[in-house]
Amino acid sequence: DFMKQGHGMLLLYTLKNPSFPEYSFTSESGVMCLDFHSDHPNLLAVGFYDGNVAIYNLKKASSQPSYKSSAKSGKHTEPVWQVKWQKDDMDNNSNFFSVSSDGRIVSWTLVKNELVHMDVIKLSADGTTMQGPEGLQLQMFGSGTSFDFHKKIDYLFLVGTEEGKIYKCSKSYSNQFLDVFDAHHMAVDSINWNPFHLKVFISCSSDWTVKIWDHTIKTPMFVYDLGTAVGDVAWSPYSSTVFAAVTIDGQAHVFDLNVNKLEPLCTQLVVTRKKNKTTHIQFNPVYPIIIVGDEQGLIVCLKLSPNLRKMPKEKKGQEVKKGPEVEIAKLEKLLSLVREPGSKD
């Protein structure tokens, strides 16, 4: 509720001691999203409820962010739903992107100790103008809710919106989209490229569904109805066919398409309190651990049991092939079952 703005907190934990944060920062506005820089893990990009973005440098002993946007320097006018670091630019400047309900996707670059912003894309809603008072034409913007950048094709990214559409965008064209998917009937809550297969992405929505797509085809490859709004979805880092989702009834679902294309391998209640919703889920990149966040501000760490992270068994004298090629082939085989016969691509 914009009228009742509260304070925000940013807490950093270690798995060695999950009950008490190693670092804590307080902010004037609620923290909506964050992203660690992959090459400089001391840099943390943060998006706030009031539309600002900031960079915290964990090496500095200050409780304030090292850099922050302002009303003068292009802050968003609505909550920032996601921030993502990019590769450093030609001049070796760190930069990240942000997406907000105000329909702008903005790139932020650290130049000589200040944050320089550039609007990459403005999402326009269908029927873009609205009749205002005294016949004024008001421009309507689509609301961005989530985005993700392609792992290999540097310029390509996807944006999910409150209207349920997914836009395929390029960093180099600011006013047109490469493609639009009529993906969901309600807000797209999360969107993720597959870490192995370069054509595949997954989306989830408040319309109860999780959908898996090939970005060259306009209809989804797989659709799962989870019976209630899906808050977040994430691919696993170790298998191309494993993903996890959380629904707002407090449950986490783990799927492995290679084992079962229709049903989750596991559905588990994570949050027990009534009126609480699970909102976020993320895999640890190294260990078989999932963390789930909820509306009451609790974070639950779950360890995946061995049968949820099955590795192929080695038969005597046979080497089991591992590696990205195997993962790509595994998912490709599943997709070929649902692609239309005749499309060779």
pLDDT tens-digit series, residues 46-77? 999 888 898 898 888 778 888 888 777 778 88
85/107 Cα distance (integer angstroms): 9
Domain ranges of the chain: 8-309+316-339
Per-residue pLDDT tens, the chain, 345 aa: give them.
556 777 888 888 888 888 898 888 888 888 889 999 988 888 899 999 888 898 898 888 778 888 888 777 778 888 898 899 988 777 888 889 898 888 888 888 888 878 888 877 777 665 445 555 565 655 556 788 888 888 888 888 888 888 888 888 887 766 667 778 888 888 888 899 998 888 899 999 988 999 998 888 888 888 999 988 898 999 998 888 889 999 988 889 999 888 888 888 888 888 877 778 888 999 998 888 899 988 888 888 888 888 776 665 555 555 556 777 888 888 888 888 777 655 554
The CATH code of the domain at 8-309+316-339 is 2.130.10.10
Query: With contact defined as beta carbons under 8 Å apart, do 222 and 214 qualify?
Result: no
Gap between the Cα atoms of 17 and 85, Å rounded: 27
**Cβ neighbourhood burial of 342 (10 Å; 0-12, 13-18, 19+):** exposed
**Residue with token string 């060695």:** 16
Alpha helices in the chain, H assignment, sequence order:
324-338
Q: Do the beta carbons of residue 81 and residue 47 sit within 8 Å? A: yes
The rounded distance, in Å, linking the Cα atoms of 211 and 228 is 14
DSSP letter, residue 68: E
Are the C-beta atoms of 59 and 74 separated by less than 8 Å? no
Q: Using alpha carbons, select from 307, 201, 321 the residue that is nearest to residue 210.
A: 201
Q: Given this model, what pLDDT does residue 127 score?
A: 47
**How confident is the model over 169-218, as pLDDT tens digits?**
887 766 667 778 888 888 888 899 998 888 899 999 988 999 998 888 88
Per-position DSSP letters for 276-320, written without gaps between them: --EEEEEE-SSSSEEEEEETTS-EEEEEPPGGGSPPPPPPTT-PP
Q: Supply the pTM of this predicted model.
A: 0.80
Non-local (6+) Cβ contacts of 195 within 8 A are: 151, 235, 237, 240
